[in-house]
Structure 1
Amino acid sequence: MGDVELAAAVWFMFQRNQREIHRRRERSKIYAIPNSHVPLLDIYLDESKPMQYDYRLSRTSIEALMALLRREKTHGWGLHVEVLITVYWLAHGLSYTVVSRVFDVPKTTVFDIIHRMCAAILSLLGKVVHFPSVAQCAEVGRGFQHLANSAAFSHCVGAIDGCHIRIKAPHGPHAQDYLNRKLFHSVQLQAICDSTGKFLDIFVGYPGSVHDTRVLRNSPVFVSGCYPPPGHFIVGDGGYPCLSAPVTLITPYREPVRGRVEVRFNGHHARARSIIERTFGMMKSRWRGIFLKALEVEHTFAPKVVAVCAVLHNICVTSGDILEPAAEEDPVLQPPPVQEDQGGGCELQDGMDSSSSSQLETPWPDGTSPPDVALLQGEASAAGGPGFDAEHEATRVGG
């Protein structure tokens, strides 16, 4: 055999091997084929069928989630199957056994998929839940000015509040720490939202017995002082202290108020603050199985599930998939009002009440314009403050 014939034979063998490798790769991409006879999978595969009733998310929101999670897979279940199983579990708060029967998938596989997908969705936290940029702060302020119906709130860039998430009673010596004032076990979610109802920051995991003020003081946004930027403020209810540093937080005047100016200020303040309550209501309505009954997972996994719901909430709001809150079935616990100013915030508060009365363009007492702000970081440090033991540290999920 001459050199030409030998080279041709080698080239032929190389091409045949390449075709075989390509065929094997193509076969590996369909390692697991979805069963179209499963009704819940058929709903997704048939684009004419609505998904919101069964999955509590619109098709647009689910596709947006899949686009963010898009990754190359050479084996295992398809991404859409894993997303649908996880979203269905979140939507109804069912046991792994029930979900495995609904999707005709082994129970151990359902467990693995849900935990793996929750971790994948949590990896999107910094991309989906983040503080606004400098340019966006002005837009957020205009939104709060419209909500409050007062120009004094044009530099408000967030509303903060806390929410108790029911969990099953934990085991171990720390079980009593999770028992709140209404005598059910819970973990706390602290959140800041903008004027459209999107979360800007979340901090979840503290036991239900802890006061809102302590949760705030140990949260990354307080420890780092990264938000709001100079010249701006956030609003919160009477359970928080009125502060000027490290977080500029304006609260309402405590009862009894002194005169019509303070009454008027409290009215504007309540209108601006109502958006965080509406945001919690929207999230509870969407994930009723998670938020309106005790979460049937370990208390160390519960904060991650809540954070996943917050990420999905922001994706839904961005996609225009709004689910208005239903009648409140599990009222938010309101701590007793803080009785004193703990950080110089009352000076700003006093300046704002006159501004809200006269409709001035600036909320600051000296009447000057707020200074320019530096570019904000999209995600706060995950480090918490002092004051809790290592077991509780491990359960926190923060923005």
Structure 2
Amino acid sequence: MARAEKSIIDSKRKNIFNTIVNDLLETSSESEDEIYHLLAENSDSDDDTLLERIVKRCKTTNISKDYMKEVLPEYTAEEFIKEFPISKKLFDDLVRKYELSDAYAYLRPDKRLPAALNLSVFLWFAGHENCSFNDLSERFNLPKSSISRVIYRIIDFLQGMKDEVIKWPKPMEKQKSAHFFGSKFGFSKAMGCIDVSHIGIYIHLPPHSCGDYVNPKGNVTLCMQAVCDERNRFIDVFVKHPGSTHPNQILYNSPIYENISTLCEDYYLLGAACYPCSDWIITPFKCDDEVKSYDKYFNLQHMQAHDIIRCSFCMLKQRFKQLKYCKLRSLEKLGNFVEACCILHNLSLGDNLLDITNVTDDGYINNVESIEPDINDRTRMLICEEICKKISNSEVA
């Protein structure tokens, strides 16, 4: 008799469970595939535990919508960018684009979370150094599993814009950049600057590869190689190598290196001393007792011009503070997240809402020298002579 009663109770529990699951399918903003994924993730849980998570999912959806309706619209422009590191205008533009994207169209049209909420979750995460998935879950009243999927969706959405936002300059743009670097620093054919910054990461690494990610400062990082123009706009970004990798090796393995002569044409990039000097990457003279006075002046001008890339890194990390110590747990997603932040950085240039006064890039490492000899010093010598002539002419005048 006891066994029969238990069977009846189990049958009733199963019916209740199925009813709530079906209700979730009717009311949740997630697609059916994602709901089934949620159930599969918790297949080892007993019915009570799983039901508790499902009920929480149902309840929190409405709370998060209230936040978007009642809190976000009340922010002033200054308050908005303090919490979400882009302007309200850009935010609205991105919301409209996301609503029209394939990624958003894939979700259930009648029950999906608002596009603005998706973007808000991502931006809050990107803009706060100490933010974690737990913080986001509490702030936006969403389960952690939804938080991760929202962030990854927005990363994919932004990466779809990469080719139109982070792109190599056209001939007229190169000419404009060269005019800037020539008139201000004496580098009449410079079209931009190249360097590496380190992104702090918090991730469980296999024991055999942990050391690979420890940079010269002793921090666990991922390397970001970037090229920027005179406006601090990133024109190329490459994020893949662990923190111990020398910038030379990152350059040699980056997509731009194979075609650098074609990409630069008659122009060149200004690079730090960590690179070997060549026709397309101009580095400073090595600092030793034999450096001549004109060479020292060349190095001074080079340093001031090359500071543009350091400033770009500072702007990026001041706006997207999560890059100082990123908490995403997938190396692939980490690289994609960095690129997504660079895309938003480019789109945000000119908003004049970012204060980088006295801001430094903790991920930048000074005094790294090239591990290989210079490839070609001819172009650098010609540039140095050109700068020296300008000094002589100005002194005569």
Q: Distance in 2 between matches of 1:322 and 1:146?
A: 27
Q: CA deviation at 1:45?
A: 2.3
| Residue of structure 1 in register with 2:192 after alignment | 158
| Residue of structure 2 in register with 1:85 after alignment | 121
Q: Distance in 2 between matches of 1:356 and 1:170?
A: 50
Equivalent AA in structure 2 for residue 66 of structure 1: V
Q: Which of 164, 168, 177 is the aligned partner of 1:127?
A: 164
| Residue of structure 1 in register with 2:89 after alignment | 60
| Residue of structure 1 in register with 2:390 after alignment | 359
| Residue of structure 2 in register with 1:17 after alignment | none
Assess if the C-alpha contact under 8 Å between 1:238 and 1:252 holds in 2: yes
- Give the alignment's TM-score, normalised by structure 1: 0.74
| Residue of structure 2 in register with 1:207 after alignment | 242
Residues 318 and 226 (structure 1), Cα distance of their counterparts in 2 relative to 1, 3 Å cut: farther
Q: Distance in 2 between matches of 1:83 and 1:231?
A: 41
Assess if the C-alpha contact under 8 Å between 1:159 and 1:193 holds in 2: yes
Unaligned runs of 5+ in 1: 1-26, 361-399
The count of residues paired between Structure 1 and Structure 2 equals 324
Q: CA deviation at 1:47?
A: 6.4
For 1:354, what is the secondary structure of its paired residue?
helix
Residues 339 and 53 (structure 1), Cα distance of their counterparts in 2 relative to 1, 3 Å cut: closer
Q: Distance in 2 between matches of 1:41 and 1:236?
A: 48
Residues 33 and 130 (structure 1), Cα distance of their counterparts in 2 relative to 1, 3 Å cut: farther
Assess if the C-alpha contact under 8 Å between 1:282 and 1:325 holds in 2: no
Q: CA deviation at 1:281?
A: 0.6
Q: Distance in 2 between matches of 1:304 and 1:273?
A: 26
Counterparts of 1:217-366 in structure 2, within 5 Å, are 217-225=252-260, 228-244=263-279, 248-256=280-288, 258-291=291-324, 293=325, 295-317=327-349, 319-324=351-356, 326-328=358-360, 330=362, 332-334=364-366, 336-338=368-370, 341-344=373-376, 346-359=377-390
Q: CA deviation at 1:139?
A: 1.2
| Residue of structure 2 in register with 1:23 after alignment | none
Q: Distance in 1 between matches of 2:390 and 2:117?
A: 54
Q: CA deviation at 1:121?
A: 0.8
Q: Distance in 1 between matches of 2:383 and 2:303?
A: 14
Q: Distance in 1 between matches of 2:303 and 2:215?
A: 25
Q: Distance in 1 between matches of 2:273 and 2:96?
A: 41
Counterparts of 1:110-149 in structure 2, within 5 Å, are 110-148=147-185
CA RMSD of the aligned region, Å? 2.7
Residues 69 and 139 (structure 1), Cα distance of their counterparts in 2 relative to 1, 3 Å cut: farther
| Residue of structure 2 in register with 1:44 after alignment | 72
Give deviations 1:267-289, integer Å, cap 9, x for gaps. Answer: 11111111000000111111223
Q: Distance in 2 between matches of 1:135 and 1:142?
A: 11
Q: CA deviation at 1:224?
A: 2.5
Q: Distance in 1 between matches of 2:69 and 2:386?
A: 56
Q: CA deviation at 1:60?
A: 2.3
Assess if the C-alpha contact under 8 Å between 1:167 and 1:186 holds in 2: yes
Unaligned runs of 5+ in 2: 1-26, 32-60, 392-397
Assess if the C-alpha contact under 8 Å between 2:122 and 2:151 holds in 1: yes
Q: Distance in 2 between matches of 1:289 and 1:155?
A: 35
Equivalent AA in structure 2 for residue 51 of structure 1: F
Q: CA deviation at 1:299?
A: 2.9
Q: Which of 138, 143, 149 is the aligned partner of 1:106?
A: 143
Residues 144 and 170 (structure 1), Cα distance of their counterparts in 2 relative to 1, 3 Å cut: farther
Assess if the C-alpha contact under 8 Å between 2:273 and 2:283 holds in 1: yes
Q: Distance in 1 between matches of 2:147 and 2:155?
A: 12
Assess if the C-alpha contact under 8 Å between 2:248 and 2:370 holds in 1: no
- Give the alignment's TM-score, normalised by structure 2: 0.75
Q: Greater relative contact order: 1 or 2 (C-alpha under 8 angstroms, separation 6 or more)?
A: 1
Q: CA deviation at 1:337?
A: 2.0
Q: Distance in 2 between matches of 1:134 and 1:329?
A: 31
| Residue of structure 2 in register with 1:13 after alignment | none
Q: Distance in 2 between matches of 1:64 and 1:272?
A: 33
Identical-residue share of aligned pairs (%): 20
Equivalent AA in structure 2 for residue 214 of structure 1: Q
For 2:236, what is the secondary structure of its paired residue?
strand
